[in-house]
Structure 1
Amino acid sequence: MLELSDPARVTAGFVLLAAITVTSGGWFLTRVIRGSVSATNFQKSFYRAGHAHAGVLIILGLVCLLLTEATELTGFLQWVSRTGVLVSAILMPAGFFLSALGRGRTRPNQLVVLLWIGALFLIAGLGACGLGLLLAQ
């Protein structure tokens, strides 16, 4: 049986409950695709990308959370390994959705920076988890 530390168990529980909100993004996306919500081609692309990134990064983040339990990481590196990808699962979709908001928008606004901050968390989380696994006894 897989034994999780309390922080990993609590984090996973909250993430699974929060993942329910991804369905609201899917519902919004179906409204955009059906034409119930007007959107430019740019906005449609960014909305699709935001929704896809949310789902994939949540799954990858949960995998990293579980794999971190098999490492000997502590402190900040353990936190980054356990939650870095999950933080990116918030920031990157937010960057896609929020930078595309606005009637008739054809280019991202300044909130596109959230994509790049999220990418940094993604790289840090994957790197910490991967190294932690390779260095584990």
Structure 2
Amino acid sequence: MSPSSLSTAGILLITVPAVAFGGISLLAHLMRDIPGYLDNPVRRSLWRAGHAHAGVLVLFALVAMIYVDQADLSDATRSLIRILITAAPILMPIGFFLSVVRPSDTKPNKLIWLVALGGTSLGAGTLLLGIGLV
């Protein structure tokens, strides 16, 4: 594995405790019956989606780093792919969480667009990687 992919994997691994902390926070909201979570279905759904996407996308990005170095692409394109794929597990959960940050929010604010931006980033990165591997 290249030094760049190892560094990227290291950064991704550092985010795992943040994902775990998010899970503990959600559990605390459930167990303590904190107002603004259980009684707010929009907030509850988006926060649950944010936590789930964070965990799955971090794992996906870690696996993708193994393949980046195997792709028949320029170093610049490999760097771009690392950035695009790593952006998704950061942007998407942030969009889910920050779009309903106040307990009284009944609909997402404009930060929900970070979810689409993260999805676009993931799509572009995986498409480039797939092309490079084929």
Structure 1 segments, 4+ long, off by >3 Å, are none
Deviation string for 1:89-118 (max 9, x for gaps)? Answer: 000000000001112211000111101111
Give aligned-pair identity as a percent: 34
User: Partner residue of 1:25?
Assistant: 22
User: Partner residue of 1:54?
Assistant: 54
Distance 2:103 2:30 in 1: 16
Distance 2:10 2:133 in 1: 23
Q: Is the 8 A contact 2:43 2:106 kept in 1?
A: yes
User: Partner residue of 1:38?
Assistant: 36
Distance 1:117 1:27 in 2: 26
For structure 2, list consecutive stretches of 5 or more residues without a partner in the other structure. none
Any idea what SS the aligned residue of 1:44 has?
helix
User: Partner residue of 1:109?
Assistant: 109
Any idea what SS the aligned residue of 2:102 has?
coil
Distance 2:9 2:45 in 1: 30
TM-score, structure 1 normalization = 0.89
Any idea what SS the aligned residue of 2:71 has?
coil
- Residues matched between the structures, number: 131
Matched, 1:12 2:6: no
Give 1:36 deviation, angstroms.
Answer: 3.0
TM-score, structure 2 normalization = 0.91
Give 1:78 deviation, angstroms.
Answer: 1.1
Distance 1:80 1:124 in 2: 10
User: Partner residue of 2:85?
Assistant: 85
1:74 and 1:37, CA in 2 relative to 1: closer, same or farther beyond 3 A? farther
Distance 1:75 1:109 in 2: 38
Any idea what SS the aligned residue of 2:131 has?
helix
Q: Is the 8 A contact 2:35 2:103 kept in 1?
A: no
Q: Is the 8 A contact 1:85 1:122 kept in 2?
A: yes
Matched, 1:121 2:94: no
Distance 1:59 1:115 in 2: 18
Q: Is the 8 A contact 1:92 1:116 kept in 2?
A: yes
Give 1:82 deviation, angstroms.
Answer: 2.4
Letter in 2 for 1:33: L
